[in-house]
Amino acid sequence: MTLLLNSCIDPFKPDLAKNDLESQLVVEGTITDEPGPFKVRLTKSGSIYPIQYSDKVVYNPEPVSGADVHITDDKGNDFHLYQGVNGWYETIDTCLQGVPGNTYTLQITDADGNRFESTPELMMEVPPIESLFFEEKQRISIKRDEVSQELWLDILLNTRMPADGIHYLKWEFEETWEFKIPEYIRVDKRFSDSPTCIGRAGESIPIMTWVTIPPEQFHCWGSEASKSILVKSTVDNLTGEIKSFPLISIGPEDDRLSIRYSILVKQYSLNKELYDFFKKLENLNETNGGMYDKMPSPLYGNIQSLSGDKKVLGFFLVSTVKTKRIFIDNRDVHVKTGHNAYFSCGWVAPPLCMFPYYYYGKIVDNGTYIGTNVWSTEKFCTDCRERGKSVKPDFW
């Protein structure tokens, strides 16, 4: 049977064009009517490089250096973008902002002389976000064959476009939350008379105890930008109304709701071409790698090559922007909070001499162990500033 099955399989060797294998220019550009420099990021597809950050290795796309980048408008203005770090190019004028009704074009010449240009993009007006709100919802959870219900928090928005045709919208958001690292922890207490470090691990006992932590390491504010692609059209609603559009869900054991949480949402207007681009990108990101999923393929946006058959990926988005922020206090919700960000952390007393350890705090209420120093091998597990800042944001 094995021989028979093997004889029925024809080997498939796809023909790949040279451009399918070569690294391609990737463009990310957005200009709005908000104050700030015009910024565009240029990277290369298919290659990443590691950056050491906070004792963790973060992989970033390879930046493109030495490019000549300009944004021009239909009023004869030419804005030169200068190279910064990590592939970013921006204007010297940090207060520069787009003008609604103007049309903008991005022009790029790379270090090899290859030229790329976006389609001219009109800066369209976008209406305000009518409301930003949250709802608590029960969800089914299956863990180790046990089925239960969990309470989640969904953040949603309502908005309305003019009822004069089909409109296309895109949203981005930034979360900010106040948090503290855990004070009540499990410590592996090693049997040793040394208050500093020991040569080898040996025996230990786990104890649950409260610790006192230096204030600058204990209380912080975290911040994170949206990673999901959030787009919607009014094609199925001729009134232009978009109701209860989901932005993000926060589950149990998360510390984002443990004290105070805030989300700032930005609303942009898209044309049909860019909407289709982001929608395809959203669908591609949602595939699970199953047998019948859509095959991934390069997504070409509104930027074209002016130099032969060179390919370019990415987009140049031009739009006015409307923003809305809400705050949610812990007392406003019933979602169970926790410290799941620190789930894999381990704390010991005393540490091993042969490894670097980071100071966490002192045991404050465990009998003979009071005053004992507690340590961890990960700085992330001992200092909230690895996830955020100990300085309260201006808008808090």
pLDDT tens readout for residues 266-318: 999 999 999 999 999 888 776 554 444 454 556 788 999 998 888 899 999 99
Establish how many alpha carbons lie within 13 A of residue 54's alpha carbon, considering only the half-sphere containing its beta carbon: 11
- Of the pLDDT bands very low, low, confident and very high (cuts 50, 70, 90), residue 198 is confident
Check pLDDT > 50 for residue 101. yes
Nearest to 42 by CA among 84, 71, 104: 84
Is the residue at 203 inside a domain?
A: yes
User: Measured between alpha carbons, how far is 122 from 105 in angstroms, rounded to an integer?
Assistant: 9
Check pLDDT > 80 for residue 21. no
User: Which residue segment(s) compose the domain that 361 sits in?
Assistant: 180-220+337-389
Average pLDDT over residues 239-249: 95
What's the pLDDT at 199?
82
Average pLDDT over residues 220-248: 94
Give 357-393 pLDDT, tens digit per residue.
999 999 998 778 899 999 999 999 999 999 999 999 9
Nearest to 41 by CA among 20, 61, 58: 61
Q: Into how many domains does the chain fold? A: 1
Average pLDDT, the chain: 87
Average pLDDT over residues 153-180: 96
Check pLDDT > 80 for residue 252. yes
Is the residue at 201 inside a domain?
A: yes
The answer to whether 168 and 319 are in contact (CB under 8 A) is no
What's the pLDDT at 298?
63
The answer to whether 302 and 359 are in contact (CB under 8 A) is no
Give 36-91 pLDDT, tens digit per residue.
999 999 999 865 444 444 444 445 679 999 999 999 999 999 999 999 999 999 99
Is the residue at 372 inside a domain?
A: yes
Name the pTM for this structure: 0.84
Is the residue at 190 inside a domain?
A: yes
What's the pLDDT at 296?
53
The answer to whether 56 and 46 are in contact (CB under 8 A) is no
What's the pLDDT at 366?
78
Which of residues 12 and 351 earns the better pLDDT score? 351
Is the residue at 319 inside a domain?
A: no
The answer to whether 231 and 145 are in contact (CB under 8 A) is no
Average pLDDT over residues 103-128: 96
The answer to whether 339 and 381 are in contact (CB under 8 A) is no
- Of the pLDDT bands very low, low, confident and very high (cuts 50, 70, 90), residue 23 is confident
Is the residue at 358 inside a domain?
A: yes
